Structure formats: C-alpha cells, structure tokens
Structure 1
Amino acid sequence: MSSGERLNVHNGLLLSALWDAAFDRGLVTFDDEGKPEFSSSLSEQACAELRWNSPIWLTDEHRRRLAHYRERSRGLS
C-alpha cells in the first residue's frame, strides 16, 4: 500500500480493537447505511458480544471502498 493510500482518510474506519480484529478477519463488515453485516461463521453469542449500538457515519468514498472490500471478502470464502 502506498503512503498516500495509508494516509487517505477514506481508507479506514475508526473501530475498537475488537471490531477492528473482526473486520480484518472478514468476520464483520458494514453495509452502505453503516450497519454491521456479520459473517455466518460467527455465532449468535459472538455477534451479541460485539454489542452494536448504532450505524457508523460513512462518506460516499467509504461506501465505495466497503463495497469493494465486501466483494473481495466474498471471493475468499
């Protein structure tokens, strides 16, 4: 990843360590409304432990990047 890409504010989400780890492992992503989408490999209890409260705020660029991420993640499973 280029330094410009690393510094791009749209190339990342501010998440807690727990959510970040789940996101990096493809266990959770976010829809275009900022609501989480959980992997089918997560148990109901694991989803509940993540304690989701409200949608995250996303720009159109975040949405574009998340759509690409979701597509790539589905290709890996």
Structure 2
Amino acid sequence: MDPLYENFITVGKIGKPFGVKGYFNVIPYTDFPERFLNVKSLYLYNENKKIFIKNKDFFIYNIEDVIVNSEKIRMKFS
C-alpha cells in the first residue's frame, strides 16, 4: 500500500452514480452514518491513482476533475 494511505481507514464503498456530473452515493461501513455529517473530504484508494473527493451532501460525493463513468468506478473507498 502507498505510504500516503497508511493512516487512512476504510469508511465505505462507492454506490450508484447520482446524476450525470460525477456524483455518486456512498454505502457506509458504519452503524452510525451520522459520522459522515462533519466530513469535509475523503480519498479514493486505487493503486494507480490518488483521487480527492469533496463532500457535497450527506452520502453524495463528487470526484473533482474526473469524468465519471459508472462502469469504471470500482475502487476501494478509503
């Protein structure tokens, strides 16, 4: 694993796309989804890319500067 991610934890996985502008739902790995309310940003982990994502709404996120194709988003959400 990339040293950048050594202190990260997996919090959920990517769900269905939301709209056509790069947004997607997140399926949380927690019994207390309200933990996401104060999250400012998250990262997707993929061995080939480091992608910053910004919280736009509760469980709806957007990948910045990436054109989203729902078939290609199969990354571990960290």
So what's the TM-score if we normalise by structure 2? Answer: 0.33
Bigger relative contact order (CA 8 A; separation at least 6): 2
Structure with the higher helix share, 1 or 2? 1
So what's the TM-score if we normalise by structure 1? Answer: 0.33
Structure with the higher strand share, 1 or 2? 2
